[in-house]
A = this chain, B = another copy of it.
Amino acid sequence: MAALSGAVYARLRDEIVAGAVAPGAKLMPQRLALRYAASAAAIREALIRLAAEGFIENLPQRGFRAARTGPDVIWEIAHFRILIETEGARLSIARGGMEWEANLTAAHHRLAHLESRMRGESLDAGQLRLWSASDRAFHEALIGTCGSARLLAQHRLAFDQFKQHVIALDPTLGFRGAELLQEHAGILKAALARDAEGCADALRRHFDTYRRVTPGRAG
């Protein structure tokens, strides 16, 4: 996208994923035009792109609003992300070399360092943002050499939308220090051991604890 429209897209995306926009809230081009110093048309282009990617909804002739959330929406996104991520991990395990191992280990080291220092207290927004970025870096490193740009792009969307919906229900993102440490360690261990099935299992358990936060559903 171009300079202006693309910049608005990026800023809006960040705000939505960070939980700064309430689910279902209207996003009106003319209002946003003031906040972003752009014309309504440019804002509109950003909104169309966000809608196509699933961050917001677009009802014809009645504007845009932030995606509505709910347990089943979260469940659906989690399911999709598991599907993408386990496949990406499987491919990376099959294709990855030493470089992949090194990147993954480094990402895990940074993440584990943070998680061990965040023992429940001091869950300020800054730390959570840092942790979320490290979490994402680790999961992206896991699937980093899957060889499919499409898979990586879909994973990025699923990751951010998962965060978007979880943060709406729980601003702490269901952060649970000790458990997270063990879960991520388990994922890393299975990946380095080239155990695709074990890695998939570890990922599913990782998500199950997230799902426990929200009321479940059959499926």
Where the two chains meet, the residues of A that have a C-beta atom closer than 8 Å to any C-beta of B are 1-3, 6, 41, 44-45, 48-49, 51-54, 58, 60-61, 76-77, 79-80, 83-84, 87, 91, 95, 147-151, 154, 219
Question: Which residues of chain B come closer than 8 Å to A51, judged between CB atoms?
Answer: 49
Leading 8 A-B pairs by shortest Cβ distance = A52-B52, A49-B52, A76-B148, A80-B150, A2-B60, A48-B48, A76-B150, A83-B87
Question: Which residues of chain B come closer than 8 Å to A49, judged between CB atoms?
Answer: 48-49, 51-52
Question: Which residues of chain B come closer than 8 Å to A2, judged between CB atoms?
Answer: 60-61
Question: Which residues of chain B come closer than 8 Å to A83, judged between CB atoms?
Answer: 83-84, 87
Task: Report 27 cross-chain contacts, Cβ distance below 8 Å, ordered by A residue.
Answer: A1-B48, A1-B58, A2-B61, A3-B60, A3-B61, A6-B60, A41-B41, A45-B45, A45-B48, A48-B52, A49-B49, A49-B51, A49-B52, A52-B52, A52-B53, A54-B150, A76-B149, A76-B150, A76-B151, A79-B148, A80-B148, A80-B150, A80-B151, A80-B154, A83-B84, A95-B219, A147-B219
B219 touches A60 (CB 8 A): no
User: Other than the known A1-B60, A48-B52, what 18 A-B pairs have Cβ atoms closer than 8 Å?
Assistant: A1-B58, A2-B61, A6-B60, A41-B41, A45-B45, A48-B49, A49-B49, A52-B53, A54-B150, A76-B151, A80-B148, A80-B150, A80-B151, A83-B83, A83-B87, A91-B219, A95-B219, A154-B154
